[in-house]
Structures are given as C-alpha cells and as structure tokens.
Amino acid sequence: MGKKSRVKTQKSGTGATAAVSPKEMMNLISELLQKCSSTAPSPGKEWEEYIQIRALVEKIRKKQKGMSVSFEGTREEFFSELMAWATECGASCDCFEISNFADEGYGLKAIRDIKAEELFLWVPRKMLMTVESAKNSVLGPLYSQDRILQAMGNVTLAIHLLCERANPSSPWLPYIKTLPADYDTPLYFEEDEVRHLLATQAIQDVLSQYKNTARQYAYFYKVIHTHPNASKLPLKDAFTFDDYRWAVSSVMTRQNQIPTADGSRVTLALIPLWDMCNHTNGLITTGYNLEDDRCECVALKDYKEAEQIYIFYGTRSNAEFVIHNGFFFEDNAHDRVKIKLGVSKSERLYAMKAEVLARAGIPASSIFALHCSEPPISAQLLAFLRVFCMTEEELRDYLVGDHAINKIFTLGNTEFPVSWENEIKLWTFLETRAALLLKTYKTTSEEDRSMLEKPDLSLHSRIAIKLRLAEKEILERAVSCGRAKRLHFQKQLDEGIPLPLYEESDIALLENADAKLPIILRKLEEEDEHVQEEMSLAQIKPDAADEGLLRLHRMKEKNIYILKTLTW
C-alpha cells in the first residue's frame, strides 16, 4: 500500500514557545468554551464577540506552536502514492492525472480525450472515509457515548480524520497526505482580512463559523483529555486548534452525502481522488452506484487530452463558495444575494395577503434572493411582490369568485400582471429596497475595484473584496432593472395599453400537471435559509426531467444517487 507514513509530532524546536502546563492550557480551554457557549450577543455586538473569541484562540495557538502533526515532504510528493493506492483499491485512474493549474491549484488533467457523459472516474466504498468507518475505528467507543458526535456527522468526520492522520498504519494515509496543509476558508483569515467582509451577507455566517469551530475545539479538547472512552485516541499529545481548524476545513470543503451500504439511509463521506476535481458551471454529473457500491462520475463535457476535468459543485452563491470552499468563482451563473421580505402583521390587509400567499404556497415572511441574471427575481419573488403590493380590491379578485383559484396560477407569470399600477409599485419597491441595501456597505464599487488593483493585496483580502463587490453589482443591477421596469409599466399605464387578459384556456400552460400546484412552486427558491444547499440526494428515475439527472440515469441503469458537495 505504498511507503510508510512519515508523520511527526513537533513538541519543540525552531519557533516553539516554552512548554505550557496542562493545568494552564485546560484553564484557557475552559475559558474559551465558556465564552463560546454564552448567550448570543445582542444585534451589532457580534464583531466585538468575535474579537474576544479570536484573542483567546490566538493565545492558545501561541502556546501550542510547534505541537501539531505534520508530514515530511510536500503534498505533491504523495500524489503518486495516492494514485497507486487508488488503483490497488479498484478505482479508475487510467484517463487522468493530478496536475497543478496555477490559480485553481491542483486538479485532474485528462491524459486522453474523454467524451461528454463518459464514465471516467469511480471510487469504491472501501476508499471512502465515512461516519460509518469512524464508528468502526478507534473513535467508535467515544462515538457511542458522545451526543455531539452522534448528532453531527461533519464533526465526527473531522475527528476521524485527525485520528487517522496520527495513525502510522491508517489505510487512508495515502489520501490524507495529499490533503492541503492549510486552506483559504475564513477560518484562516487574519482579523483585517475578515474586516473586508463587514456589511456583506457572508459576515454573520463567517463569525458563527469561527465561534462554532472554537466551541467544538474546546469541547473536544476536554473530552479527549478526560473521557475514559477517549483514552486510546492518538490525539492527547497533539490536538491543537490548528489541527482542528485543518480537519474542519478539510471536511467542509470536501464532504458529501452517500447512501449506506444497504441503501436504507445516508451518511457523510470524504471521497478520495474525486475531490481533486475543481468546480465550473454545469450540471451534477456524479452519483453513487449502489449495485457496484462505488461513487461514479461522468464527464460534464468533451475533454481533450491535457485539459482540466471539472465537476459542478451545485448552485451555490459566491458567499457560500467563500465560506465553505475558500474560493471566489468569477463566472458564477448562480450568484445571488439574500433579501428578507415579509408582510407586516400590523398591516390592515395582512390577513388577505397572507391567505393569497398561502394559496400560492409562499410564506408571508421569507428569505428570497436577487440573482445575477436577468431578470434578477424568480417567479416566486415576483408572486410575493405582486401580492405584497396589491390593493384590497385586487386581493379580493384572488380570493373570491369562480376564477379566483385559477388566477393564483398567474402570480409568478410575467405575462399576466395584476394591474399596471401593481407592477409599478412592485418594481418601485424593489428598486428602493436594493438601493437601501447598497447604502449599508462602507465602500463603493469603484473603491473596491481600485483596491483589487493593488498588487500587494493578500489572497484572502482579494477574495473578500471580490465577494463584497459581487454583492454590490447584483444590487446595482436590481436597482437598474427596477427602474427600467417601473418606467416601462408607467408608460403602459400612461398610454392606456390594455392589460393582457387571463383566459381559462391559459391554465394548461401554467399548471403543474402532476400536483396541480401554482407555477411558482415548480422551482422554489434554493436560497431558503432552512434548506439552503441541503443535499439533493434522490434515486435516479428514467423520467427525470432535469438534464443532469438524465445524464446520471444514462450512466447506468442501476440504483444511482445524485451527489454534490455539502456545506459544513
């Protein structure tokens, strides 16, 4: 299985600080755990709390300097060992190699022509690190007793990864040694680099991510040093904050959901070799084949020899890519910013508006999204804004009468305005709201562009400023679109253009044939805060409408499950 691990634990040496007593370290850990477990700060105080937590973490990191596990040699030196191990385990390695692609880092390069939809990569289950393999490892006894591990598969994978990294005989060492030594997730940002994210929509998640990671680290530090079932874990002498941050980032940038061996449920997994693929726009082309018990990936498009092979990570915004993957994707067709909207319960027409929205399957208060594409709003948001701006008379038309139920189907359709006045109001509202959101940023788009021209700007600062600028550009387009639509519908009204008439025969074009649901429910917002980026794990069926699912079905007519990367 290749050469033995050259793993070492540094307890002293160049740059190492004086030894810290176990009691002193435990006191610092307890302080950190208490700080991270306190009640949530009042609005506006989150940054102050972050600074306090960060100061404690930096104090701990300073005392732990030189104590982390590391491998002798560079990451690139171990790629041949990874490929040999993968071949020995039955993975496919005959049409690609691992190569360095400059700004994108390492990825897979085709060593022969590959056709679109060709099955070019498969990885058997025995290569995967999963929650199930964690339960069957040295971590098993602690897992059986610890509720955090049982409830959080991602945390289990992180601890599992650390245990295997410290085990010289781990079967996964050929994989672990090829993982990056550090990452570009916000957990690795300096304080001044995180400051660039202030006022962006990512900042709350970034601060929460840091706090949660610090709390988990403090909790497991105590567990590892005190719990009887943790006595055999190879982590007592080497479980630093930097170790845990690395493990969290490794899992966060790579985890996927796959079915268990019997297909009865799903589990989290790290998939060696496949996770070397970089992201591009496209469709999901990876699935899990239960019959052959392996992860399979078909080519997204035709690839010529020497071209980089990409996969599609899913419809993530750039905020999600920065937070969970540590990169900004320049050509993101799915970029968006969140916008929270709701009908006030104190409004006189609240009951009527809430009822119309309920019939359309839309909450009276929700998080929607403004998209980078044209138009910037989805059918669902259009429907919400139309109801939000309706008069009492207009609401009554959608609540009572023989055709009221059918009219609900038109709410998300641009061809059937409620009225010219309603269109003017909703686009005026959107224009104003987007303009107000733009004012919350402390820099202008021009200032951000000037900052990005500085050659000495750090990578993390550049990522943060690009994200900040991208959010503004989406909002600016929403303002411009709102203004143009407002003027257009005002002209329609002024010129007395007749409103397009909805006819009963039009319903066939608007209905969801299967469920008889409004058109807006065919594709609800992917940005809902409760379901955002949840795993789209579904068994492939021959009549699947989505082209990506059809590709997977054509890959093999077997039990195959859709796969895409998850967030932490």
| pLDDT tens sequence across 271-298 | 999 999 999 999 999 999 999 999 999 9
pLDDT number for residue 559:
60
Does 514 have pLDDT greater than 50? no
Q: What is the pLDDT of residues 27-52, one digit of tens each?
A: 999 999 999 998 888 888 999 999 99
Starting at the edge strand that comes first in sequence, how are the strands of the sheet with 266-270 ordered? 129-130, 266-270, 256-259
Q: What is the pLDDT of residues 47-71, one digit of tens each?
A: 999 999 999 999 999 999 988 878 8
pLDDT number for residue 429:
98
Closest-CA residue to 84 (of 71, 93, 96): 93
119-124 vs 106-110, strand pairing mode? unpaired
Q: How far apart are CA 239 and CA 115, in angstroms?
A: 46
Local confidence band at 539 (pLDDT 50, 70, 90 cut-offs): very low
Asked if 366 and 528 count as a contact pair (C-beta separation under 8 A), the reply is: yes
286-289 vs 560-562, strand pairing mode? antiparallel
Across 478-488, average pLDDT: 97
Does an H or E element contain 192, and which?
helix 191-195
Q: What is the full DSSP assignment across 278-329?
A: EE-SS---EEEETTTTEEEEE-SS-B-TTPEEEE---S--HHHHHHHHS---
Amino acid letter for position 334: H
Asked if 337 and 372 count as a contact pair (C-beta separation under 8 A), the reply is: no
**What predicted TM-score, i.e. pTM, was given to this entire model?**
0.87
Q: How far apart are CA 79 and CA 2, in angstroms?
A: 11
pLDDT number for residue 17:
45
Closest-CA residue to 268 (of 149, 120, 119, 173): 149
Local confidence band at 499 (pLDDT 50, 70, 90 cut-offs): very high
294-298 vs 286-289, strand pairing mode? antiparallel
pLDDT number for residue 532:
33
pLDDT number for residue 557:
54
Say which DSSP state 565 is in: B
List, in sequence order, every residue forming a beta bridge with 109; answer none if it has no partner.
Answer: 97, 308
Helix (H, G, I), strand (E, B) or coil at 256: strand
Residues across the chain: 568
Count the alpha carbons within 13 Å of 436 in the hemisphere toward its beta carbon.
8
As a whole number of Å, the end-to-end CA separation of the chain is 31
Q: How far apart are CA 420 and CA 130, in angstroms?
A: 56
Does 528 have pLDDT greater than 50? no
The two structure tokens encoding residue 126: 């025995």
* Between 530 and 38, the higher pLDDT residue: 38
Q: How far apart are CA 110 and CA 453, in angstroms?
A: 34
Helix (H, G, I), strand (E, B) or coil at 506: helix
CA distances (Å), origin 564, targets 150, 254, 275, 297: 23, 10, 11, 11
Q: How far apart are CA 181 and CA 177, in angstroms?
A: 9
Asked if 310 and 279 count as a contact pair (C-beta separation under 8 A), the reply is: yes
